[in-house]
Amino acid sequence: MPDREERARFEEWVMPHFDAAFNLARWILRSRADAEDITQEAMLRAYRFFGNFRAGDARAWLLQIVRNCCYTFLQKNRPTEDVSEISEEFLKDDRGTPETLAIAAHEREQLAQALEKLPTAFREILVLRELEGCSYKEIAAITAKPIGTVMSALARARQQLRSGLTKPVAPVVKETRLEL
């Protein structure tokens, strides 16, 4: 358990990445409500094990913990959900010419829906790269994958997202939350 000094270090190094933690959890879990719980759990866990963190990339260290908590939660609470790791089969390329897209015309909602339809392993890599601005090296560290796998998965994820955006997106039931 950290002492006072450790606590100050934790607030200085780890707390600035609070939104990053929430954003990653929200996109892996596809739910703001679950992301709130998991962010809280992950921050507590990070605090407890902060003594093991010496120096380096605090954001990547925290996001690794967030990701682990998300996957544990999914296995326990949504066992039917596909959280399979990236396999060779997954990466098999059905390369086609890039569809011409009028993405500018797509609303945020459509982008979000297409992103949520991607397999979790692809979605998290896209979120880390495009929303969080992580480098390949950081993504590799956070997702515990070789850089080569990150690169091919990213290419594949973008391709799937593009084709998801060109097909009409079926309306999904929107998550409703009571604002108390």
Partner 1 sequence: MSCEQRTENLHAYLDGELDAAGTLQFERHLAGCAECGATLAAEQKLQKALQSGGLYENAPKGLRQRVVASLPALPEPKVRRAGEWRWAALAAACLVGAFLALQLFSDIGGRSRQSVVAAAVVDAHLRSLQPGHQTDVISTDQHTVKPWFDGKLEIAPPVRDFTADGFPLTGGRLDVIHGRTVAALVYGRRKHVVNVFVWKGGDEESLSGAGEQQGYHWMAWQKDGLNLVAVSDVSAEDLKALKDLFLKE
Q: Which residues ranging from 142 to 161 are in contact with partner 1 (CB under 8 A)?
A: 151-152, 154-155, 158, 161
Residue 172 binds partner 1 (CB under 8 A): no
Nearest to 43 by CA among 79, 7, 85: 7
Residue 121 binds partner 1 (CB under 8 A): no
Instruction: Please state, in angstroms and rounded to a whole number, the distance separating the CA atoms of residues 69 and 79.
Output: 15
Residue 99 binds partner 1 (CB under 8 A): yes
Side chain identity, residue 129: R
Task: Give the interface segment with partner 1, choosing from 69-77, 82-90, 107-115, 117-125 (CB under 8 A).
Answer: 107-115
Among 66, 70, 115, 125, the residue binding partner 1 under the rule CB under 8 A is 115
Among 108, 171, 176, 178, the residue binding partner 1 under the rule CB under 8 A is 108
Taking each helix axis as running N to C, give the angle between helix 58-77 and helix 32-48, from 0 to 180 degrees, rounded to the nearest 10.
120
Instruction: Please state, in angstroms and rounded to a whole number, the distance separating the CA atoms of residues 34 and 14.
Output: 21
Cβ–Cβ < 8 Å for 134, 56:
no
Among 82, 94, 97, 178, the residue binding partner 1 under the rule CB under 8 A is 97
- Ranges within 8-67 binding partner 1 (CB under 8 A): 10-13, 15-23, 26-27, 32, 35-36, 39-40, 43-45, 47, 49, 52-61, 64
- Measured CA to CA in angstroms, residue 167 lies from 63, 100, 121, 138, 170 at distances of 32, 12, 21, 32, 9
Output the smallest distance, CB 61 to partner 1, in A.
6
**String of DSSP letters for 84-116:** PPP-HHHH-----PPPP--GGGS-HHHHHHHHH
Among 90, 130, 163, 169, the residue binding partner 1 under the rule CB under 8 A is 130
Nearest to 26 by CA among 127, 176, 151: 127
What is the distance of C-alpha 28 from the center of its chain? 5
Task: Give the interface segment with partner 1, choosing from 71-79, 82-90, 123-131, 168-176 (CB under 8 A).
Answer: 123-131
Output the smallest distance, CB 130 to partner 1, in A.
4
Output the smallest distance, CB 125 to partner 1, in A.
11
